[in-house]
Chain A
């Protein structure tokens, strides 16, 4: 996936912002916070997981997603979002 494929989706950026902020959430909760349906949330999460930016953890039927702290892409995205937020505050 090219970088523009990540940035072209507002929902994927929103998902990343949420997970950078709270650390870990299940699919239903992410969908609820973004006011989207479960299938749509799952689709975007899968894309970010396939890219290695997110990690998935399974507990029976429960799927928890979190940022992959080992991923350089995730680190770069976190840095970008932090800088953006900080600059906008000024």
Chain B
């Protein structure tokens, strides 16, 4: 493979700021948002809306809001409605209401001054601009906790009860508040809370199968055809699932794995590239963990590392690992232990987080155990264990 070839077709599709056209497994929530804001297209100005989107990191809160924002503003423009969607990450502005509002006003007046007046005056200026331009805004306040933490109830109250000071004028400012959970909302006073909590869209953590769909969707956009084998996607989904169903983490991982594949000149993104990528994100493998393993555990782990190193699979069966283990025992002149004992060691290695296991089949017969090595590159693990055995031989 020449230096200039890449597994990527368009890596920008894996960028954190990219908003995909389709949001697999968030179609229902997108429909809910459209429902809540239907008035903005039917009768803008007649009402304002407040919606909260909650969910853990990587559950698609930001993407959901931004996709909705892009869709509704497009639809509004075809109907001749001046509707803007403004997405602000409150944390980026230190949770300051003034700076958040300044960002919004800057959408209309890029050189609006930053000093010499209050947040209330800025809010007044924003409403004046909206009135003069007959515009409506859906303001999406991402990491809303940051605003609550810094400004407390008063700022949120100002935003949500704005219309009370604008009797008989069109309602122009709607809010989407994005936050991890409702804990911070509990800190607000009762009247402010009541203005927020009517429409809540809670995003559950993605299941592994859902992560596979999301990753496949991005792979088709970002990678060359056949550059990412099914097993690689499965492995990344497995890791992202173990990281609280974090799709963003999975997408970052597949990008990094692609970079390793390019650096090595591979045509495909192999599971080993994923392990390299993981080890660059996770803390480096701890030698201490390996040092505490018994001789047989080390031999078995060496066998597992070799199976992965040789076949580029995302997971291997216990049977395959056991076969290689017997070869390793011969190499180091050590009698192998029983299958049952080996299975117990496998559980210990899994508890330490060095490997992950999955049992297929039910009942006492016909069960098979699959082993994956998600966090440590097989070649590094083998190198580490080999150096241990070499030192041991030197001593004897």
Given contacts A60-B124, A61-B121, A26 and B110 within 8 Å (CB-CB): no
Total inter-chain residue pairs, C-beta < 8 Å? 36
Chain A residues positioned under 8 Å from B125 (CB to CB): 59-60, 62
* Complexed CA–CA distance, A64 and B117 (Å): 14
Kindly state whether residue A51 has any CB partner on chain B within 8 Å. Answer: no
Interface of B is mostly: loop
Name the residue of chain B whose CB is nearest to the CB of A60. B121
Q: Check A59–B128 contact: CB distance below 8 A.
A: yes
Name the residue of chain B whose CB is nearest to the CB of A19. B111
Q: Check B113–A62 contact: CB distance below 8 A.
A: yes
Kindly state whether residue B18 has any CB partner on chain A within 8 Å. Answer: no
Q: How many residues on B have C-beta within 8 angstroms of the other chain's C-beta atoms?
A: 13
Could you say which of A24, A28, A29, A59 contacts B110, with CB atoms under 8 Å apart?
A24
* Complexed CA–CA distance, A47 and B111 (Å): 22
Q: Check B116–A61 contact: CB distance below 8 A.
A: yes
Chain A residues positioned under 8 Å from B388 (CB to CB): none
Name the residue of chain B whose CB is nearest to the CB of A27. B113
Kindly state whether residue A25 has any CB partner on chain B within 8 Å. Answer: yes
> Would you give the 0/1 interface string for A12-31, flagging 1 where the beta carbon is closer than 8 Å to chain B?
00000000001111101100
* Complexed CA–CA distance, A61 and B121 (Å): 8
Chain A residues positioned under 8 Å from B112 (CB to CB): 26, 62, 64
> Which residues in window 122-145 of B have CB below 8 A to A?
124-125, 128-129
Kindly state whether residue B5 has any CB partner on chain A within 8 Å. Answer: no
Kindly state whether residue B150 has any CB partner on chain A within 8 Å. Answer: no
Could you say which of B111, B115, B116 contacts A25, with CB atoms under 8 Å apart?
B111
Q: Check A28–B113 contact: CB distance below 8 A.
A: yes
Kindly state whether residue B109 has any CB partner on chain A within 8 Å. Answer: yes
Could you say which of A23, A24, A25, A60 contacts B117, with CB atoms under 8 Å apart?
A60
Q: Check A22–B111 contact: CB distance below 8 A.
A: yes
Chain B residues positioned under 8 Å from A24 (CB to CB): 109-111
CB distance from B368 to the nearest CB of A (A): 68
Q: Check B111–A23 contact: CB distance below 8 A.
A: yes
* Complexed CA–CA distance, A24 and B109 (Å): 8
Chain A residues positioned under 8 Å from B110 (CB to CB): 23-24
* Complexed CA–CA distance, A26 and B113 (Å): 7
Q: Check B117–A61 contact: CB distance below 8 A.
A: yes
Chain B residues positioned under 8 Å from A61 (CB to CB): 116-117, 121
* Complexed CA–CA distance, A23 and B111 (Å): 8
> Which residues in window 34-76 of A have CB below 8 A to B?
59-62, 64
Name the residue of chain B whose CB is nearest to the CB of A59. B125
CB distance from A61 to the nearest CB of B (A): 6
Name the residue of chain A whose CB is nearest to the CB of B129. A59
Chain A residues positioned under 8 Å from B115 (CB to CB): 28
CB distance from A32 to the nearest CB of B (A): 10
Q: Check A29–B111 contact: CB distance below 8 A.
A: yes
CB distance from A54 to the nearest CB of B (A): 14
Chain B residues positioned under 8 Å from A64 (CB to CB): 109, 111-112
Q: Check A62–B111 contact: CB distance below 8 A.
A: no
Q: List 13 A-B contacts (CB under 8 A).
A: A23-B111, A25-B111, A28-B113, A28-B116, A29-B113, A59-B121, A60-B117, A60-B124, A61-B117, A62-B112, A62-B117, A62-B125, A64-B112
Closest 6 CB pairs of A and B: A59-B125, A26-B113, A60-B121, A24-B111, A25-B111, A60-B124
Given contacts A23-B111, A59-B125, A59-B129, 12 further A-B contacts (CB under 8 A): A22-B111, A23-B110, A24-B111, A26-B111, A28-B115, A29-B113, A59-B124, A59-B128, A60-B121, A60-B125, A62-B112, A62-B121
